[in-house]
Amino acid sequence: MAEEKIRILFVCLGNICRSPTVEGVFRARAERAGWGALFEVDSAGTAAYHVGEPPDRRSQQHAQARGYNLSALRARQVAPIDFERFDYVLTMDRRNLREMEGIQRFARNPKATLALLLDYHPERQGQEVPDPYYGTDDGFETVLDLAESASDELLKVLLKKQGLFGCGC
C-alpha cells in the first residue's frame, strides 16, 4: 500500500448535484473494491449559491436507490489552495474547467492535474456530465450512470499508475 493517499476533488457549479454524487459514488466503489484507504475524495462548487447545504433531495434519492448515501455531504466553494491539496481536480463540464483554470492561477504551488471527469470515462473522453438541476428525473439517473463508469475507470487508471492494478485485488 502506498503511504501517500491519492487526493481527488470533484467539481461542478453548485456542489449539490453532480460533484457530490461523483464523490459518493467514487468513495463507495473504491471502498467496495478494497481500496478505500488509498484515497481521499472531496467535492466543491465553483459558485457559492448552496454553501453549507446537503446535496439536492433528488440527487440523494436517486443515489440512495443505488445504495449510495450522500446525506452527510455539505456544499463548499472551491479555493486556490485546492490545487495544492489535491492530486486531481476533475470537473463535470467545460465551464467548470475554465473557471478552475482561472482559479489555478492564484495557487502558490499548484500540483493538481486538472481535467474533465469524463476524460476518465471509457467511452466519453472530452464530454460533459449534463447539469440535471433544472431537468427531470432522467438527468439524475444519467449523472449516476456516468459517475459509476467514470469512477471505475478512474480507479483502474490510478491503481495501474501506482503499480497496484492486476495484483488480484
Question: Rule CB under 6 A: is residue 159 a binding residue for ligand 4NP?
Answer: no
Catalytic residue among 17, 18, 93, 119: 18
Question: The dihedral of CA 168, 115, 36, 110: what is its sign?
Answer: positive
Q: Give the footprint of ligand 4NP on residues 23-82 (CB under 6 A).
A: 49
Considering only the stretches 16-24, 82-90, 108-116, 155-163, report the one whose residues sit in contact with ligand 4NP under the rule CB under 6 A: 16-24
Residue 96: CB minimum distance to ligand 4NP, A: 8
List the one residue out of 100, 92, 79, 86 whose CA is nearest residue 132. Answer: 92
Catalytic residue among 42, 56, 93, 131: 131
**Contact status: 91 vs ligand 4NP (CB under 6 A):** no
- Identify whether 82 is a catalytic site residue: no
Q: Given candidates 16, 73, 144, 154, which one binds ligand 4NP under the rule CB under 6 A?
A: 16
User: Minimal CB distance to ligand 4NP: which residue?
Assistant: 14
Residue from 12, 30, 44, 116 in contact with ligand 4NP (CB under 6 A): 12
Query: Is 12 an active-site residue?
Result: yes
17 is catalytic: no
Binding range to ligand 4NP, per CB under 6 A, among 14-22, 107-115, 118-126, 151-159: 14-22
For cell 454524487, name the residue.
Answer: 21
Q: Is 133 in the site for ligand 4NP (CB under 6 A)?
A: yes
Residues 6+ apart with CB under 8 A from 105: none
Q: CA end-to-end span of the chain, whole Å?
A: 12
* Residues tagged active-site: 12, 18, 131
